[in-house]
Structure 1
C-alpha cells in the first residue's frame, strides 16, 4: 500500500478505534527496544532445544535470563512476507504480501515504526530490510544485504569482503572465507549499531538489528569453519528418501536445486557444517552487541528480542534453504525476550506464539495503543509473569503460497526460463513458480500439526512421535477425532484472523480485547 493511501485509511478508522489499556514497564524511563533478527535460522539447532551441539551458547544463556518460546512460528516461511507480518502484526492474507515480489503491496493502518515515532522513540535499521519499510521513515538507515553493505563508504576490508560475497552467486564457499570475522557482516553491523547508540545521549530508541545470516550464501571464516566438522554433526531426522512421502513439490525442489548448484548432494555435509559455524559466529556478535550495551550503561533499560524470520531445512529431506511446505524446520523460529519487566525462567513458555504477536507486544511495552488492523496478540502480560488465558495461546497458525492453482511438472520444466535456475549451474532460487503456487494453512496444537490446502488435501503429523513429519495420519481412522478437532481449530483461526480493515466508518463501534486476544 502506498503511503498516501495508508494515511487516508488511518483518518477513516480513527473515530472507530476503541482505546486499549496498556502495561507500563517497571522503569519510569521508556525502555529501549532492540529486535535482533537472524535470516533463515532453524530453531531446533540450539542446545537449549535439546540439540547435541552447543551452537549458540550466548543466545541460550540470554534466553534463560528472560522468557523464551519453543513453540514460536513465523507467519510464512519466506523473508518478505514474514518481515512485513512482524512489522504490521498481520498475517499474509491481510497484508497482501504472500511472496517476495509483493512487498510494495503491504496493506495496514500503522506499523511498528509509525508507533515508535509517535511514542517519541528514535529509530534505526541496521542490516537487512526486505520489507515495506523505507529510508525516509527511519532516523538511522544502515542497510546490509546478502551481497554486503549497501553504502558508499566502507572500510578497506569491508569493501574486499563484499566483493568476495558477490562471487558466491548466493550459494556457498566450501572453503574458509577470507578476511576474518572483522569482514563478516554481523561484526561490522555491531560496530555501526554501537556508534549510533552512543550518539543518542540517552534518548529511547527502537532498533531493528537484522542480520542476513545464516541465510545462503553459506560461508564462514576460521575459526568457525572448523568448529563443527561434517563428521561431528548429529544425524538428520530425515533423508532424501523421505521426499517421496512429502510430495511432488519436494521432488521438484530437489531437482531444481541439483541443476542450480552443481555437486549439491555431495557437498551437503559440508554445507551443514558451514551453517553450524555461521550460527556460532552470529552468537558471538550477539554477545558483542550486549557487551556494548553494558559498556554504555543502557543494558538494564533495554528490551532485547532475538528472533528469526523463518528457518532452514539444513539438510532435512536432502535439502537446504526453504521453499516448500510448512515443516517445522522452516516455520518454527527462535523467540526470546530479555529486559526490564520481563520475568526470567530457565524453562520455555508453554504458549504457541507467532511473529505477528511481536508488534502488539511492543505497543504495550511502549504504552501505546495497538492499531486497528493488527491481528497479533500481545504477549506482554505473559512476559511479565501475569495471568493470561491459556486457551488463547493453545495453538498457532501459519500460511504458505502465493495463491492460484498448483503448478506441477506437467505444466513446464524450463526452470532457467522462469528464473529459478541460473545458466551457469551456480544459482538457484528456491522460491519459484512451482514451489510457491497454491495456498495452504498450518495449525500447531499440543503434539499435533495439521496442514490443509485449497484443494482439500490434508496432512496430519504427531510431532512427538514423528518429528521429521513424514508419516501422514490424516486418513488414519484412529486419528479421526484429532483430525476433526484440528480442522475445527484451523477454521476458527481462519475466521478470527480475517482482516478487520476497513472498520465501519459511521456509528458502529469496533470492539476488541484490551490485549488484542482473538479468542476471548
Structure 2
C-alpha cells in the first residue's frame, strides 16, 4: 500500500510540472473552511467533506508550505457525470503538480509531496471541473513535524476478560493481548455500562450513562448535543477515523458524527463478520493519515455469536463426554475461545503494522470490550439479558506512549465512560467538562484504589435492569421481574447466593442506582402505554418556564409541537399502517410494551397546567396516574412540577401494567436540589424517592 501511494504521488508530480494550463487567479482563492460543508455517505463510508462547485479556475488556499510539505487531498465526484476534474497544485506561482480524477464513485485519497519548493510559498489548488466535487481532507502538512501521540481504541466485541490468558485463563487464547499487557497497564475491574453493544459503546463515545445518551433499547437513537470523544480529539487537531462492523453503532442510530471518517465494514453481513476485513481498512488508513496525529476507533466482532472462527477452533475436542446442554455448552465455549484466538491474531496484525510504520511507541493504545457473554451461568446464553458479571466484566489494557508503567496491574474499578477523560488527561489535553466519567490517570500512575461506585443498566426488549457496584458489593434491581438482590463478589464471585437482607452498604448502593438513573431524565414526563385498543390521546402541557422537549415515539403515530408557552401533543395507540409495518418488530413484538414518552425541560418550581383528552373527552381517573400516586391534584388547575415528583424507575414501561394508561410525573436533577430550601414534608418525600 505504501509503495502504491509513493508511486502515484511521483506520477502526479512528474505529470504536473510545466503543464501549460492558463494562469490561475490566486486573489480569488478561498479557504476550504469557507466551502459548503456536508456529511457525505458513499458505499458505507461517512466523511466530512467540502464542496467545490463546477467551474474553471476555482482556487482553494491551503496556506504556506512547510519545510517538507505534503498535500493531502480526498476527492469524491458525486453523482454521475460526463467529464473529469483537473486539479492543479501550485507552490507560490509555480505549477507543482496536476492530477485528473478518474470519475470514481468512491473516495480517492492522494498524497502529493512538494519537497524542493521554497518553504513559506503559498500553496493553492486550482479546480477545473464541469461538475461538483467533494473534497476531504484538503490540507498541506509538514512531514518533518513530530506529531503528538496517536490514539487507538481497539474494541473486541463480546469479549469476557476471564477468557484471556493475561487474566488467568488456562488456555492460550490471547498471545498478542498478553504481550500488550506486558507493555501496558492491565485493569482487572472494568465494568461496562450495559450488557449489549449500543448503550455500552454510546457510553464509551460520549462518557455519559445510558439514561443520559438515550441509546438504550433496540429502536433508540442517541441524543444530539452530547459530549463526543472523537469530536473532542478533532478539536485538538487529531484526524478521527472509525472502523466498525456492528449494525448497532451505525450512523442510523446517531453514532459516528464526531469522526472525520466513519467506515462500516459489511455490518449487514454480521453472521460472516471477519475481523481481518476491519483491520485491513484500519491498516490502509495508516498511510492515508501519515503525518497527522490520528485517533482511530477499531471495532471487531470475532467472539460475537455465531461462534465460527475462520479455520476452526484449536480448542475443539475430538469428542465430548458430556451430554445434552452440558455438551453444547462445552462445544460453544471451545468455539468461542477459538474466536478470541482469531481476534487476537488480527489485533496482532494491526500492532505489527503500527511497528512497521514506526508508530507503535508513540501510540496510546486502549484495548477493551463492550460486554461479555453468558454460557448458562444463570440459565441463559448470549448477552443483553442480565447484568451479571459474565456480561459486565470486560478487559481493559492501556499501553501508554513510550511504554510507561509497563507490566503493571490495577485493581481499582473502572467504567467505559472513564476512557475519554483518561485519554485527555494522559495526553495533557483540556478536560471536556460534560464528560461524566473520571480520569484513571492517578490510578495508572500511583496504583491508588479509590472506592468508586460503578453503574450499569439494561433497557432492552422486555428487560429493564439496573446494577451498581462498590468494592466487592454489587446490587441488582430487576424492574420487570420485580426483585432486587445484593451479592458479595469476593465470597460469591458467581453471583449465586444473594444476601437474605440488605447488607450494611446495601442502601447506599440502592440510592446510588436511583440517582444515576435520574440523570438525563430531569423534567416533566408524559408516558402513554398503548394497550390493545385504538385510542387517540391529545392535549397540551402549558407553563411559561417549560423549555425544550423531545418525543420518543413513531413519527407516523405521534407528534408534539409548541404554541406559545404550551407544548401540544397528539398520540395514536394504533395506526392503519401498523399491520403493514408489522407494528414495528422491535417495539411491538419484542420490547417491554408499546409506549410513547414526551419529556419537557422544566425547573422544580415551574407552574404548569395540563389538558389531556382521550378520544376527544377528558381523561378519566382510571387511565390517569399522577406523580408518585398523587390523587389530590387536578392537572387542569395550575400546579408545581415538584408536586409530581417521582422515582423515574417506577415509571419504566417494563414494570407497568400492560394496558392503556397515561402517566404524568416529574423527575428532578438530584444535583440541583437544595435540601435546606425544602419544607419538611417535601424533604421527606424526596428522601423516600432516593433524591437525597
TM-score tier after normalising by the smaller chain length:
0.5 to 0.7
Q: Which residue of 2 aligns with 1:77?
A: 195
Q: Kindly tell me the number of residue pairs found equivalent between the two proteins.
A: 379
| Cα displacement string for residues 257-301 of structure 1 (whole angstroms, at most 9, x for unaligned residues) | xxxxxx977633322211110000011111111111000001111
Which residue pairs with 2:245 in the alignment? 128
Higher relative contact order (CA 8 A, sep 6+): 1
User: Shift in Å at residue 337 of structure 1?
Assistant: 0.3
Paired residues of 1:123 and 1:140 also in contact (CA < 8 A): yes
Determine if contact 1:96/1:107 at 8 Å carries over to the other structure: no
If each structure's helix is expressed as a fraction of its own residues, which one has the higher value? Answer: 1
**CA distance in structure 1 between the partners assigned to 2:402 and 2:151 by the alignment:** 12
Contact 2:466 2:513 in 1 (8 A): no
Cross-structure match for 1:59: 177
**Residues of 2 paired with 1:82 and 1:93: CA distance?**
11
Secondary structure of the structure 1 residue equivalent to 2:313: helix
Which of 419, 429, 440 pairs up with 1:368? 429
The equivalences for 1:261-340 within 5 A come to: 267-340=328-401
Of 443, 447, 451, which residue of structure 1 is paired with 2:472? Answer: 447
How far residue 101 of structure 1 moved from its aligned partner, in angstroms, is 1.9
How many angstroms apart in 1 are the aligned matches of 2:409 and 2:513?
24
**In the aligned structure 2, how far is the partner of 1:343 from the partner of 1:486?**
38
Residue 145 of structure 1, CA deviation = 4.8
Distance 1:281 1:351, change over 3 A: same
Note the C-alpha offset of 1:113.
Answer: 1.6
Shift of 1:195: 1.4
Distance 1:498 1:324 in 2: 22
Classify the secondary structure of the residue corresponding to 2:334.
Answer: helix
Structure whose residues are more often strand by fraction: 2
Query: Offset at 1:90?
Result: 0.4
- Equivalent residue for 1:202, pick from 291, 298, 301: 291
2:579 corresponds to 1:491 = no
Distance in structure 1 (CA, Å) of the matches to 2:342 and 2:420: 28
What do residues 401-435 of structure 1 show as CA deviations (whole Å, max 9, x unaligned)? 35xxxxxxxxxxxxxxxxxxxxxxxxxxxxx33xx
Q: Which residue of 2 aligns with 1:169?
A: none
Over 3 Å counting, the alpha-carbon distance change for 1:324 and 1:62 in structure 2 is same
Matched residue of 2:337: which SS?
Answer: helix
Aligned partners of 2:427, 2:408: CA distance in 1, in Å?
26
Residues 472-505 of structure 1, C-alpha deviation per residue, up to 9 Å, x if partnerless?
2242xxxx5xx23133144246536853799999
Task: Identify the residue that residue 582 of structure 2 maps to in structure 1.
Answer: none
Aligned counterparts of 2:178 and 2:408: Cα–Cα separation in 1:
11
Distance 1:490 1:360, change over 3 A: farther
Change (3 A) 1:328 1:373: same
Residue in 1 that maps onto 2:637: none
Q: Which residue is 2:531 aligned to?
A: none
Shift of 1:51: 1.8
Q: Partners of 1:34 and 1:133 in 2: how far apart?
A: 21
Q: Is the 8 A contact 1:85 1:91 kept in 2?
A: yes
CA distance in 2, matches of 1:189, 1:371: 29
Distance 1:318 1:271, change over 3 A: farther
Q: How does 1:360-399 map to 2 (within 5 A)?
A: 360-383=421-444, 385-386=445-446, 390-391=449-450, 393-399=451-457
Query: Do the aligned partners of residues 127 and 97 (structure 1) sit closer, same or farther apart at CA in structure 2, a change above 3 Å counting?
Result: closer
Distance 1:116 1:497, change over 3 A: farther
Is 1:217 the counterpart of 2:306 in the alignment? yes
Cα distance in 1 for residues equivalent to 2:294 and 2:475:
40
CA contact (8 A) 1:67 1:342 kept: no
Of 317, 336, 340 in structure 2, the residue corresponding to residue 229 of structure 1 is 317
State the SS of the aligned residue for 1:213: coil
Q: Determine if the alignment matches structure 1 residue 401 to structure 2 residue 459.
A: yes
Deviations along 1:121-179, one digit per CA (max 9) or x if unpaired, are: 1111112353355566533332125544xxxxxxxxxxxxx8xx46xxxxxxxxxxxxx
Contact 1:265 1:318 (8 Å CA) reproduced: no
Structure showing greater Rg: 2
- Give the C-alpha shift of residue 378 in structure 1: 1.1
1:31 and 2:149 aligned? yes
Is the contact made by 1:145 and 1:212 (CA closer than 8 Å) also made in structure 2?
Answer: no
Contact 1:72 1:334 in 2 (8 A): yes
SS in 2 for 1:201: coil
What is the DSSP-based 3-state SS (H/G/I as helix, E as strand, rest coil) of the residue aligned with 1:54?
coil
Matched, 1:144 2:265: yes
Do 1:39 and 1:213's aligned partners in 2 also have CA atoms closer than 8 Å? yes
1:367-403 CA distance string (max 9 Å, x none): 43333432111112332x1486x43x4332212235x
Q: Secondary structure at the match of 1:333?
A: strand
1:85-111 CA-to-partner distances (Å, cap 9, x unmatched) read: 100000012112222321x24254320
Measured in 2, the distance between the counterparts of 1:273 and 1:387 equals: 35
Q: Distance in 2 between matches of 1:349 and 1:442?
A: 22
CA offset digits 1:205-255 (Å, max 9, x no partner): 011100022111221122x4233438699x9xxx9xxxxxxxxxxxxxxxx
* 1:144/1:212 contact within 8 Å kept: no
> Structure 1 residues 468 and 386, CA, compared in 2 at 3 Å: closer, same or farther?
closer
Could you tell me how far 1:116 is from its partner in structure 2?
1.4
Indicate the larger mover: 51-60 or 331-340: 51-60
Per the alignment, residue 164 of structure 2 pairs with 46
Correspondence for 1:115 among 216, 232, 236: 232
Identify if the C-alpha distance between structure 1 residues 232 and 305 changes in structure 2 by more than 3 Å, giving closer, same or farther: farther
TM value normalised by structure 1: 0.65
